[in-house]
Amino acid sequence: MRKKFNIVYKSEFWQKLFKSLLALSEIIEKPRLKVALISYHYQNPTISGVGIHARNLAKYLSKNGCEVHAFCSSEEEERYKEDGVIVHGIQKTLAPIEGSISRKRIEYDIFESEVVKACIRENLRRKFDIIHTQGLLTKAAFTVKKVCHIKWIHTFHAIERFRTNELTEEEKHFQDLNLWEESAVNFCDGAIFVSKALVKEGKHYKIKSKRLISNGVDIEVFDYSPIKERNILFIGRFSLEKGIDALPSMIESAMYFKDVTFTVVCPYRYMSYDLKNIRSALKRLEQKFEGRVQIIETSQPQEKLKELYQNCQIYVQPSKYESFGLCILEAMAIGRPVIAFNVGGVPEVIGNCGILVNNKKEFIFNMEELLRNKEKCIKLGQIASNRARKFDWNIVSKRTINYYKKILK
């Protein structure tokens, strides 16, 4: 009996060993999927949610076996490896053009021209399997697709015809240019939309293949932390789109509560004329309530953002247009209740673990209610943290790789 058992045992052992060696040989023989990820914003710290998305996607694509090349804007021409990703930094060209938004538009165009050259050079070393664009960078990808015969996937983080309604007059001046650029995605091989709401907004595009793959959160970084401070936090670009004009009245209301502080992280590269009065109002409040109101106008690294989330009791997102809400998801992962306007993809992210409102009066009322009820904040925060795990980047990146494979068939 014992002898028979040993024979079976050995047989199972050799079967497992053979299967493992076979799987290993397949990995060695088959070259890794080579991905060109194009995103103007990428390097840490980044001013843009698109940049944070691109960084995390690249990191987890690499972790899951892809060879990832990220093409991004940089202070200098450089090539280096970070988190397994080969980063191609393309030096910024400071355009001597009048008007902050005009300069930004020209810089984007120059960047795309340089991306074409950089992608083609790298493609000569070993052909890319997929070009994956983020944001409005469609011209470079379209050119490389046609010249090098590479499949192209585009991720929508917004739909320009809807987003520009919430921007400044200076930004609206470029609406027709943005729409023209975005129309190039009709020629891509596949498109990713980060929320159901965005899928509906983008239904007018005649794209061969569409896939809903949500944004993600890095659970390794943004893990649960108990509430300790009586602080309200907002993080978002200094833009009307992000509801920056609603913050002065929210801050005034919060200051009626003893020991409550308010932190605003609102970085910008260029300040349009329409927003300067709002910036002045925020600065006056920072001086009036010295030590209780903090306005941070520069991009913050991930480690600092984590600390800011940990040091708040409530996270607020008064965005007028929001296709997903990355900062909302990061705050939820840390274990913070979120108050946000009921727009775009925000309800899909928050679910039942935050508060959705329809106007500024409701927003301030609920903010004050949560300040009075820490226990409710804790309860909502715990539910939020559990929900955030469904958006783990490891899961999201694997869905993305599966979509790559579908497009490549």
User: Does residue 28 form part of some domain?
Assistant: no
| 155 vs 93 pLDDT, higher one | 155
pLDDT at 14: 67
| Closest alpha carbon to 52 in 373, 306, 364 | 306
Q: Are residues 87 and 38 in contact, defined by beta-carbon separation less than 8 angstroms?
A: no
342 shares its domain with 200: no
127 and 271 co-located in one domain? no
Write out the H or E segment, with its range, that includes residue 376. helix 374-388
Which range has the worst mean pLDDT, 67-71, 94-98, 185-189, 315-319? Answer: 94-98
Is 66 in the same domain as 135?
Answer: yes
3-class SS of residue 217: strand
Q: How many domains does the chain have?
A: 2
Q: What pLDDT is stored for residue 218 in this prediction? A: 94
- pLDDT of residue 98 exceeding 60, the answer is no
For strand 34-38 and strand 130-134, is the pairing parallel, antiparallel, or unpaired? parallel
Count Cβ atoms below 10 Å from residue 27 Cβ, excluding itself. Answer: 11
**pLDDT of 406 above 70:** yes
**Three-class DSSP category at 346:** helix
DSSP state of 240: G
Residues 384 and 396 in one domain: no
Query: Is residue 51 a part of any domain in this protein?
Result: yes
Three-point CA angle 386, 388, 390, nearest 5°: 90
Instruction: Look at 139 and 190; give whichever has higher pLDDT.
Output: 190
CATH number of the domain enclosing 65: 3.40.50.2000
Tell me, what amino acid is at 78? E
Confidence of residue 168 (pLDDT cuts 50, 70, 90): low
Q: What is the pLDDT of residues 148-157, one digit of tens each?
A: 999 999 999 9
Is 27 domain-assigned?
no
Asked whether residue 71 falls in the same domain as residue 208, the answer is yes
Does 208 share its domain with 338?
no
Task: Please name every residue paired with 37 in a beta bridge, in sequence order, or none if there are none.
Answer: 70, 132
Highest average pLDDT, of 103-107, 132-136, 319-323, comes from 319-323
State the chain's mean pLDDT as an integer. 89
Q: What distances in angstroms separate CA 132 from CA 39, 150, 182, 241, 396, one per listed residue?
A: 9, 10, 14, 25, 15
Residue 366 in domain? yes
- Using the predicted structure, report yes or no on whether residue 264 has a pLDDT greater than 80: yes
In sequence order, the 6+-apart residues with CB closer than 8 A to the CB of 96 are none
Give the SS3 label for residue 210.
strand
Say how many residues make up the chain. Answer: 409
Q: Give pLDDT, residue 169.
A: 66
Q: Distance (Å, rounded) from C-alpha 42 to C-alpha 55?
A: 6
Asked if the structure places residue 127 within a domain, the reply is yes
Within 10 A of 286 (CB to CB), how many other CB atoms are there?
17
Residue 47: phi, psi to the nearest 5?
A: -80, -15
Structure tokens at 196: 């159901």
Spell 248-269 as b/e; 16+ CB within 10 A means b. Answer: bebbbbbbeeeebbbbbbbbbe
CB 342 within 8 A of CB 228: no
Residues 284 and 293: their CA atoms lie apart, in Å, by 10
Examine the domain organization and report whether 397 and 348 are in the same domain. Answer: no
SS (H, E, C) 253-306: HHCCCCCCEEEEECCCCCCCHHHHHHHHHHHHHHHHCCCCEEEECCCCCHHHHH
Range scoring the smallest mean pLDDT among 103-107, 118-122, 150-154, 397-401: 103-107
Sequence-ordered list of residues with C-beta below 8 angstroms from that of 204, at least 6 positions apart, any chain: none
Predicted confidence (pLDDT) at residue 9 exceeds the cutoff of 80? no
Same domain, 153 and 249: no
Local structure of residue 32 (DSSP, 8 states): P
User: Quick one: average pLDDT of 282-292?
Assistant: 96
Task: For residues 338 and 212, state if they share a domain.
Answer: no
- For tokens 């490549």, the residue is 408
Q: Give yes or no for residue 101 having a pLDDT over 70.
A: no
Is 161 or 341 the better-scoring residue by pLDDT? Answer: 341
Strand partners, 211: 192
| Max intra-chain CA distance, the chain | 89
| pLDDT band at residue 197 using 50, 70 and 90 as cut-offs | very high
Mean pLDDT of 348-367: 95
Angstrom CA distances, 104 to 73, 80, 203, 238, 320, stand at 12, 25, 28, 15, 22
**Quick one: pLDDT band at residue 60, thresholds 50, 70, 90?**
very high
- For the cut 80, the answer to whether the pLDDT of residue 175 exceeds it is no
For 358, the token pair is 């329809």
pLDDT at 297: 94
pTM of the model: 0.86
- For residue 280, what are the contacts with CB-CB under 8 A and spacing of at least 6? none
Rounded to whole angstroms, how far apart are CA atoms 347 and 345? 6
Kindly state whether residues 59 and 206 are assigned to the same domain.
Answer: yes
Of residues 173 and 402, more confidently modeled:
402
Provide the domain limits for residue 371: 231-390
Q: Which pLDDT does position 92 carry in this prediction?
A: 84
In a domain, 21, yes or no: no
